[in-house]
Structures are given as structure tokens and as C-alpha cells.
Structure 1
Amino acid sequence: MSDTTTNTTPAIPLQDLVTGYPKLAGQMGLIPETTIFRSFAALQAQNILYLQAELVSLEKRLRKCELIDSQDLNGLKSLYSLDWYWLSQSGDDGEEQWKLVQQIGAKLREYNEALIQQNIILAFPGPSKWDLNYVQHYLATKDMGPLALVGDDAPIWGSTKEPKSFCPDLITLRPRHNEDTFSRWVTERAIIKLFKCGCHRLMKVSRIHGVPGFKDSTLLQVTFWITTVIASLLPIASISVLYYVHSMLAKLAIIATFNVVVSLCLMAFTTAKRLDVFAVAATFSAVQAVFVGANSNNSPCSNGGN
């Protein structure tokens, strides 16, 4: 990520941070897209399963206790299911039903909180290949030791030697704004190729990161210009080809071909849904058909018999 200023002092001096977690955390602070962590999806689900099993057991005990208390016609226990007041007052006597109600209430709060947290965590997207690759290479730099992390959590992000050995339940707190497949390809693959070609040497050093780079916003702006040009040229190209073709079968084939091209462009360059793809393709086909009909009526062959 580049910056237009000439100051090369990083905003967060990583050289002052201790090697290991402090320095890795500092790097994540510089590039929020690299805040990649495990979601522990399996452990989260297992915890919820335990809570669920415990609630099922408590529910079974409560229903049994309710049935027994309702059959006590000579005492107050038969009123527990009819009037909450008498049930709440039974707590001083250590009644089992009231204790179960309180225990279930506390366990339900814990269970609901776990469900809500799991729902939020599952909504976090996975990291991009570029950011995960960046973390792997940073862990292998001299600043980090290399491979300064030696605990059981060291293999979480994988490594440069085994880039695909990362944990499958990784999430990122700040995903990149890749709006379409083409933009995602540019930000993840094209940047790597630009670095390999040495193009980053022409960039100014970032004031924040202390290294040269490319801004996502700049790359996305470039992809926007490219998609705009393509969107403008496709209708012109279609009409131009149809104008010089006289065979009706050839014209139908050209219309079908351009419809496929437009649909593929919508899938690659936009975030259009299936319904949008069908709508645009149908509209584009109708425009081409209207042009073919108008061109056929105005052609010399159609007026030859007059």
C-alpha cells in the first residue's frame, strides 16, 4: 500500500516491539486485513452441544417434578403449575421444582449467548489468499526470528514451506473489499506478479507501513475503469458485427455469442445475481434483434423489388 508522503517512518514502530506476539500484533495493526484468527468452529459447536444436552436433562427432570407436584392435592405443590407466586415462595423450603427452574434459566442464558456468538462468528468471512500469504511470509522474516512463534499455535497460519497447511477455520475481522471476481483476481494474483516484476520499486515507501506497495482503492479504481470500457464497447462491437453480416443464421449466431459474452462479463466484472444476468441478457438480445430487424428493412435487398 503506497502513500504520497515522503516520510518513511512507520506510524507503529515495529522495531521497538518484542519479537513474537507483540510484533505480530503490531503488524496486524498496520494492516487490518491480516487480522486472521481461528474461529474454533468445532469447539464452539461442541460447547453448544454440551449445553444443549444439559438443558435436555434439566428439562426432563423438570417435567417429571412438575407431574409429581401436581398430584399433591393435599398441599400447596399442586398450585405450583397454576400460580407462579406459590412456586417462587417454595424456594425457601428447598423445593426441587423451583431450584430446577432457576438452574434452567441460568443455563438458558448461557446457551443463548453461545448461540448468538456462534452465529456472529460464522458470519465472518475467510481471509484472502493474499493476506494469508502475507502473514506466512512475515512470520518467516528476520524481524520475527524467523518463525519466532514456537508454541502449539505456531502452525495456525501455515508457513512458506507448507502454505496450504493452515487451519481450515480461519476468519478475518476485516476482509478486503473485492466486489467481483475480476477485482479479487487483481488484488490477489496481479499484485504478486507486479511484485515479482519489480514494479513495486517504482512506488514510494508508505509512511504507515514503511514499505512500498499498492492501495486496494487504486487497484479497484483501475478495475472499475476496465469494466466501464468493456461495458461501453460490447454493444458497439455487437452492432458493428451485425451490420456487416447479411446471413440471418450468422446474425442469430452472433447474437447468441454476444449474449454469452455479456453474461460472462456480468459474472466476472460485477456482483450481479442470476436474475440480473437473465434480465440483462434478455434486454441485450432484444436490442440486437431490433437492430437486425431495422437493418433488414432498410437493406437494398428488401427494396430490390420496388
Structure 2
Amino acid sequence: MSTPDGYAKLARLMGAEPETALFRRFGSLTMINLLRLQAELQDLEQQLEEAREEDTKISDGIRNKYVHDFRLMRDEAEEGDSIQHDLLLDIGRKLEEYHTALDKALRISSATVPTRREIKFLQTWLKRPSMGNNFLNSPEDAIWSDENVNDLISVRASGSDDDVFTSFLNGSLLSLYHRIWGERHGRNQSGLLGTNIRRYNDSHIFKLSKIISTTLSSLLPTLAILVLFFVKRMLLRIGLVIVFTAIFSFTLSVTTEARKVDIFSATAAFAAVEVVFVGSTAANNTA
């Protein structure tokens, strides 16, 4: 079997490595298409209102009855005497096109946004002679260029553990690790990814993020109690309660995808435990 080249090689890469499957959503074109359909519907709506007003002004005949009888409107349309009916048919077709385009735009707007690292890798892959070999010609070479990076979406599903901390761990921290250690000691890839490439398993990164998050969640409450036990001055204790509570809520926000109400409830419970501990130890010291 011959080695694929050009778009065939790129397609095989995207099929094997979903994080490289980045596509333009053509946001501005999507919006201009929606604006066009919206303008046409607005015009049709105005035409319908004018036709309805004109028909209701007729004192004799049957056109002034259209407002009460769609069947009569349809029957008269077969005789070529119902502008309202023809406009309603045009509006129905245009509405279907508009709502289809709107639904697609909503799905695209909620699609996964690629990371800067994923975009950079694909750009590098396209340019390197041993990989994409810069096969794209104008104007297609602008698809993955820097000017369109904000218009790209990824076909990969967004991770369930894609919180701020995991994103940092899988982004800047991973890049730093790669420069310091992974680039020198990693195993080189071959084939579609090319040589001098190190591939990191996302599941390992998510697992590490989970371990760190759960460890912090168990350490913070016990560490706070330990520190408060050795502090005797009440004013300093209250200050430490404020600090530990703020650290706890910040940690929850960064390392989890918990909702605001859940973070608020957990923080309130944590603060209550601290207050009870401070109050009980203060009473014992007084006694």
C-alpha cells in the first residue's frame, strides 16, 4: 500500500489522533447567513402584514374572511386570489431554513475549543517536510493559519475533568515538563505523527489531576484544624479561619467543575467546622 500524501495523509492523522482534528467553524459566514435569512423573514413578515391589512379593508367579497378561515384562503389560492397564502408558504420554507441554520450555529458555538498546544502542533505538522510537507495551496493554506485560530473548533469531546487545574496541568505545565525532561528522554514517534514527537496520554494526566485534587481536599480541612490548635490568640485564629476558608473555596473552584451553589455549600460547611472548633477550644481554655 502506498504512503498517503496531502489531504489523504492529513485525514489519516485526524482519524488516528482526534486532538488534531481541527476545523474552521466559519463563524462570520455563519452569522452573515443567519442575518440574511433573518432580513428576508423580516421582509416577508412585513409583506404579510400589508397583505392582511389590504384584505381586511375589502368590504365585499371573501378576501376579508381570510383572517378567520385558512381553508378558504387555501381554496382561493388555487384560483390565484390569495397573496396571504402564497406569502405564508414562502415564510414556512424560509423559517425551516432559518431554524435549521440557527440550530447548527448553536451547536457549533458550544463545540469544543482546541487548546493552543493542539493548534500549534497541527500548524507544525503541516509545515514540516517529514509530515505534511506544506502541501496546502492558496487560499486553503489560510485555514489553519494564525489569523483563523479563534475560528477553529475540535471534533474531540470535551473532557469531563476539564477544570481549570486539569487544563493547566495538560497545557502550560505539560509544555514545561516536555521542555525540561520529556523532549530529551521521551521515545520518538514515527509514522503519521512524525519523528521527534512525544505523545502524552490524556488519561494519565486526568488521573494525576484527580489524585492531586482529592489529596488537597483531604489535607486542607485537617491542616486548618492543626494550625488552629496551636494558635492561642483569638484574633489571629479568626484571621486564619478567613484565610483557610478562602483557600478552600479557591481550591474547589480551580480543581473541580462543581457548581457555584455546591462550592458555596461546601465552603459554608467548612467554615462552620472551623468556627465550632475555635469556639470549643476557646471554651476549654477558659475553663
Fold match, TM over 0.5? yes
Matches within 5 A, 1:1-16: 16=3
Q: Contact (CA 8 Å) 1:33, 1:175: kept in 2 or not?
A: no
How far apart in 1 are the matches of 2:132 and 2:284?
76
Q: Which SS does the other structure have where 2:143 is aligned?
A: helix
Contact 1:128–1:176 (CA under 8 A) maintained in structure 2: no
Report the counterpart of residue 111 of structure 1 in structure 2.
98
Pairing partner for 2:281 from 282, 288, 295: 295
Call closer, same or farther: CA 1:40–1:145 in 2, change over 3 Å.
closer
Shift of 1:108: 1.6
Match of 1:25 in 2: 11
Q: Which residue of 2 aligns with 1:43?
A: 29
1:68 matched residue in structure 2: 54
Report if aligned partners of 1:186, 1:219 keep a CA contact under 8 Å in 2. Answer: yes
CA distance, structure 2, for counterparts of residue 206 and residue 298 of structure 1:
68
Normalising by the residue count of structure 1, what TM-score does the alignment of the two structures yield? 0.82
Structure 1 pair 76–150 and aligned structure 2 pair: CA distance change class (3 A): same
Measure, in 2, the Cα distance between the counterparts of 1:206 and 1:74. Answer: 84
Q: Which gives a bigger RCO, structure 1 or 2 (Cα 8 Å, sep 6+)?
A: 1
Tell me, in whole angstroms, the C-alpha distance in 1 between the residues paired with 2:214 and 2:91. Answer: 59
In the alignment, the residues of structure 1 paired with residue 86 and residue 270 of structure 2 have an alpha-carbon distance, to the nearest angstrom, of 69
- Is residue 244 of structure 2 the alignment partner of residue 258 of structure 1? yes
For 1:214, the equivalent position in structure 2 comes to 200
Q: Confirm or deny: 8 A CA contact 1:51 1:111 kept in the other structure.
A: yes
Instruction: Choose which of 110, 118, 125 in structure 2 pairs with 1:131.
Output: 118
Q: 1:209 deviation in Å?
A: 6.3
- 1:174 offset after TM fit, Å? 1.7
- Give the gaps of 5 or more residues in structure 2: none
Query: Could you tell me the TM-score, scaled by structure 2's length?
Result: 0.87
CA RMSD of aligned residues (A): 2.6
Q: How much does 1:145 deviate?
A: 4.8
CA contact (8 A) 1:127 1:175 kept: no
Aligned partner of 1:161 in structure 2 is none
Taking only the aligned residue pairs, the percentage that are identical comes to 30
Deviation at 1:71, TM superposition (A): 3.7
Is residue 114–residue 154 contact of structure 2 (8 Å, CA) maintained in 1?
Answer: yes
Mapping 1:127-206, distance limit 5 Å: 127-158=114-145, 164-177=146-159, 178-199=161-182, 201-202=185-186
Cα deviation digits, residues 90-114 of structure 1 (max 9, x gap)? 2333233332222222112112212
Is the partner of 2:153 in helix, strand or coil? Answer: strand
CA 222–203 in structure 1, closer or farther in 2 if over 3 Å, else same:
farther
Residue 85 of structure 1 corresponds to which residue in structure 2?
A: 71
Query: Which digits, 9 at most, give the CA deviation of each residue in 1:212-266, with x for residues without a partner?
Result: 5221111110111111112111122112211212111221122122112212211
Match of 2:150, SS? Answer: coil
Which deviates further from its counterpart, 259-268 or 136-145? Answer: 136-145
Please tell me whether the aligned partners of residues 37 and 172 of structure 1 are also in contact (alpha carbons under 8 angstroms): yes
The amino acid across from 1:187 in the alignment is N
Q: Which sections of structure 1, spanning at least 5 residues, go unmatched? A: 1-12, 159-163
Output the amino acid matched with 1:79. K
Deviates more, 1:143-152 or 1:214-223: 143-152
One-letter amino acid matched to 1:294:
S
Match of 1:225 in 2: 211
Contact kept? 2:131, 2:192, Cα under 8 Å: no
* Residue matched to 1:272: 258
Partner residue in 2 for 1:248: 234
For 1:246, what is the secondary structure of its paired residue?
coil
The structural deviation recorded for 1:172 is 1.7
Give a deviation string over 1:268-296, Cα, whole Å, max 9, x none: 21123333333222222221222222223
